[in-house]
Chain A
Amino acid sequence: MKNYAAYLLEDFAGDDDFRDWVHGDRRKEDFWRNFLKQYPEKAEVMQRAEQIIRASHVAEEALRGIEIRREVDRFLETANQAHRSDTSRFHLRRWLAAAAVLLVTLLAGWQLFLRDKNVISKNNNTLLTAPRLVQTANDTEAPIRVALADGSVVVLSPKSSIGYPSEFKGAERKVYLKGEAVFSVTRSSRPFMVCTGDMVTKVLGTRFVVRAFEQDKKISVQVQSGKVSVYSTKQVASANVRERSGVILTANQAAIFEKEQNLVSKTLVANPVPITKDSKVANHEYDEVSLPVILRELEKGYGIAIQFDEESFRKCRITANLSNETLFEKLDLLCKTVSASYEIVDGQITIAGPGCH
């Protein structure tokens, strides 16, 4: 307790609590009121100290909120640019070396992000040393680039944010996404994991997009090419098994994660794109070609398994010019020709029909 009873003018003026009280801080109101009652002889010197503090006021600078906002944005932009050119320069070659190109789209609920983080922390003995996450949010109208410590680069879409450690430690590289982002992941023996709510997308090093906006109830992962595994963290936490249940997605496959049911199922992306630049897929004229041959070509071209009864379709001869159609249009056309139909089951295409004789 300070000896206020012996306080002189400079002591009151030099006292932080007294100053704050004069400045309108009411937390010490009772204290000073009681003090005055107890030491009425101090009233005059306190009044003087108060007058000095009030007279020491300085008019504020005219500064609009938008001016401040502009300056903060300017800082963030410049700092990000400096950071970006530092990292991207050195890792560009590694991108080019990455063999697979993935496109993963996650449509996910994000509110479970925190819970997911907890699950991971609990299962992790390095909780105390776990690096703190850096949060970067994109409040702008255009995508922004975020460089990660391992050289990976994230292009973060508007209204999205990502959490990542300032340095990747441990066996895995984990990031937490809310919204949409394109990841260019450097190859490494340590898997790169994108956590979105209760679902994790795991890759070894590739390029893909993750989308996980809060309002969506389903998570869907779409893979353009390459290999990605998708699994639910809920199962990991409860079953405590090494083997994680989930799906492995390859080219043009998609996974749908129903949050409420905690189920991951496999399907295909809305519009599969060829994984090779092979002209056979892009544009091909078939003249009396056996259907299985065409289907195998499509299978190869799009990297999607097509299941059918080889025996019954072998005799079906097709004459067609397949070029700009989408994969599904091509399948429609082929199936119509032989009175067959196709289904998408578990990320594959199944064709059923009477066949040809």
Chain B
Amino acid sequence: MKKRPAGIDEKHLWQEYRAGNILALGNIMQSLYPDLFHWGMRLYGEREFVKDCIQEVFLNLWKLHGTIGEVENVKGYLLMVLKSHMLRELSDKNQMLQACIDDDYTFAVEFSADSQMIEEEHEIYQFRTLEKVLNSLPQRQKELIYLRFYQNLSFEQIASVMNLGRQSAYNLFQKSLNSLRKNWPVVVLLSLLFGV
């Protein structure tokens, strides 16, 4: 998988951006764009709308460069800001009350194991079963699984993106794993890492 390690660069760029360097903010945008876009598309699958929202988020950030504070994890923060911006835009768009959409937004994700990583034929069946369970989870749980394993956030960050307490986020995660446990495929899985 292409996941990069946690953004040390972004943290440094964030400092420069706070000091008034617009190019640093541009660099943050450039390097996090794929993740932000992917996230935005999960919340509302219209490319141009997502792109516009990302623009607006960064323009707002630029306006705040003199006053904005330190951020522990830039990506986690931006995912949170993008989400609240999109939900606000969507509530305007759909003439809905903010309070309404906060709990009632859709999250569209389709879990599907990277088939290039599956070497053994019988594994395909195992993965399809797991994917099916994952995809049948309630939306909030899917969002959490996505933030956890696609966006690689910590529970701390997931909690702030999902507007939950850290413990609630972890409890929700456990709930998802219990569903997976119950529906675990019978056949013993072979694995890449354990080289059985």
Contact = CB atoms under 8 A, between A and B. Distances in A.
Interface of A: 9-10, 13-14, 16, 19-25, 32, 36, 43, 46-48, 50-61, 63, 68-69, 71-72, 74-76, 78-80, 82-83, 131-132, 134-137, 166
Contact of A53 (B5, B20, B149, B174): B149
B84 interface: no
A52 B180 contact: yes
Q: Which of A21, A55, A63, A134: most chain B CB closer than 10 A?
A: A55
Given A19-B152, A23-B3, A69 B30 contact: yes
B132 to A, nearest CB: 9
Given A68-B30, A71-B29, A57 B111 contact: yes
B100 interface: no
A10 B176 CA distance: 9
A47 B59 contact: no
Contact of A55 (B3, B130, B173, B193): B130
Contacts of A76: 22-23, 26
A72 B62 CA distance: 13
A135 B55 CA distance: 21
Contact of B155 (A14, A21, A55, A69): A14
A55 B58 contact: no
Nearest to B146: A58
Contacts of A60: 34, 38
A137 B23 contact: yes
A9 B37 CA distance: 31
Task: Tell me whether chain B's interface is mostly helix, strand or loop, or mixed.
Answer: helix
Contacts of B145: 56
B191 A14 contact: no
Given A20-B5, A43-B194, A61-B38, A75 B130 contact: no
A243 B167 CA distance: 67
A137 B63 CA distance: 20
Contact of B16 (A21, A82, A132): A132
A61 B121 CA distance: 27
A135 B21 contact: yes
